[in-house]
Structure 1
Amino acid sequence: MSRRAHVPRVFVESPLAVGEAIELADAKRHHLATVLRLGADAPVTLFNGDGHEYGARIVQAERKRMTLAVETQHSPERESSLSITLYQAIARGDRMDFALAKAVELGVTAIRPVFTERGKVKLEGDRLAKKQAHWQAVVESAAEQSGRLVCPPLHPATHLAQTLDEDAHTDGLRLMLAPTATTGLTALAKNTRTTLLIGPESGLSEAEISSAEAAGWQPITLGPRVLRTETAGMAALAALQSLWGDLAG
């Protein structure tokens, strides 16, 4: 268990500065006041993605309002020097939540959910907007729990074909897991910027793999076993962080 576990961490989108006060949004207030049952004078750790962590204390806890006073600022080193953008094929229900949460815990820099040809999740309009908001909450919760100093941006869900066209000139390595790949991660030269594509449960289609290769994506394998979509991303991220990032020891 983390030594910071007894003090709740809260991600906010507001500027933070020592000596200033901040009022929490309803969802954050509800979690602290109703779920954790915290009241006046309770300590809380805040972060907003500026690379710092702020010690704060609740100074006002009312039914529909909670105000915190920012008291300290710290700059611990918890972010990896390896920049990884994850393109995660959209999976059903808890599988997608799991994939997003573990990606955040493993230090991903940004996440883009993608619809794929073989993906079985169909979302649009209000349903997609609600799901995107749910995923955002999952990402924020994982960032809070894991001690991140940033909350990785969750980009709007797009179709993979559109994404491949838009990101044709992305710098760094572009890697995709593919069942026909013969190259493993250890065969690659170190690169501090990597984009990783994880397909759906039934895999990327041949057409998607061909289009991705034509756009400069390199097929890779993680070994002989078939991994579920929510496991594949976690395994690949852990391997990349172990090889080139902050899990290297």
Structure 2
Amino acid sequence: MLRPRFFTAQTLSEGSTLTLEKEPSRHIAKALRMRAGDSLCLFDGSGIEAHGEISDLDKSQVSVIVKSIQQPTRESPLDTVLIIALSRGDRMDTVVQKATELGVTEIWPMISERTGVRLDETRLARKRQHWERIAISACEQCGRNRLPTVETPTSFEETLQRAAKGDDSLRLILHTSAHPSPLPTHCKSLTLLVGPEGGFSDEEVTAALDQGFCALQMGPRILRTETAPLVGLALAQARWGDISL
């Protein structure tokens, strides 16, 4: 039987006793109804995983004894930055969750010309915290021990400038009118740029191409803004990462 997995921001060391944060404590005690002596798995987001045993608990506080420490390798060899335009409703939540499961390294939310979501700085900060919690939950579910970085949303221009200052990663912008172009056989680092519901403007596509992005079309059908990045990530992982058929 698989041990339930939980994230903690605390340092994990063999033999130590930790009092877990409120959210996992409540989930353990109320939702899962676990008891003292039950086993679970903890990870701290840095790659470390610990097998632990509940030593004490009540409705809002759970103490765990760390029994052993491991550093299993479950991260993709493909370093991936997903730049995704903000979208309405829970579409961004879905993208963050599934992109985390697909092994993305960093997520950069972006505000482009046709982005239909406009939020002030306070709400953007809250959104980022919300997406970070979604990423944590996805890591708990899929077995990842490293958390992807979720950045605060920035403008298209700021995001493009930052991407251009990066390393020699392969930079791809998803575009429905792109001409087929050959992709490299090997790739260690990828930056994937995905637009909003209305797509990128011609000026934005030109700006991205000027900054070293290559336009990529994924088949004859137009994919939704929450579908396109996931298809792109899955194809990239199958070609250069750790997904195999």
**TM-score using structure 2 length:** 0.94
Q: What does 1:77-96 correspond to in 2, within 5 Å?
A: 77-96=73-92
The DSSP-based 3-state class of the residue aligned with 1:108 is coil
1:103 counterpart (99, 103, 123):
99
- Structure 1 residues not aligned, in runs of 5+: none
Q: Write the distance in 2 (CA, Å) between the matches of 1:35 and 1:93.
A: 27
| Match in the other structure for 1:182 | 179
- Aligned-partner residue type, residue 207 of structure 1: E
Q: Write the distance in 2 (CA, Å) between the matches of 1:183 and 1:191.
A: 18
Q: Write the distance in 1 (CA, Å) between the matches of 2:116 and 2:237.
A: 30
The DSSP-based 3-state class of the residue aligned with 1:170 is coil
The DSSP-based 3-state class of the residue aligned with 1:187 is coil
Matched residue pairs, number?
Answer: 244
| Match in the other structure for 1:230 | 226
Q: What does 1:65-144 correspond to in 2, within 5 Å?
A: 65-144=61-140
The DSSP-based 3-state class of the residue aligned with 2:158 is helix
- Aligned-partner residue type, residue 133 of structure 1: Q
Give the Å deviation of 1:101.
0.7
Q: Is 1:24–1:67's contact at 8 Å kept on the other side of the alignment?
A: yes
- Aligned-partner residue type, residue 177 of structure 2: T
List per-residue Cα deviations over 1:144-190 (Å, max 9, x = no partner): 10111211111111112111112322111111101221235x63342
The DSSP-based 3-state class of the residue aligned with 1:19 is coil
Give the Å deviation of 1:96.
0.9
| Match in the other structure for 1:39 | 35
- Aligned-partner residue type, residue 45 of structure 1: C
2:166 counterpart (160, 170, 174):
170
The DSSP-based 3-state class of the residue aligned with 2:68 is strand
Give the aligned CA root-mean-square deviation in angstroms: 1.6
Q: Write the distance in 1 (CA, Å) between the matches of 2:140 and 2:118.
A: 29
**TM-score using structure 1 length:** 0.92
Identity score, percent: 38
| Match in the other structure for 1:219 | 215
1:17 counterpart (10, 13, 25):
13
- Aligned-partner residue type, residue 29 of structure 2: A
Q: Write the distance in 2 (CA, Å) between the matches of 1:188 and 1:219.
A: 14
- Aligned-partner residue type, residue 13 of structure 2: A
Give the Å deviation of 1:63.
3.4
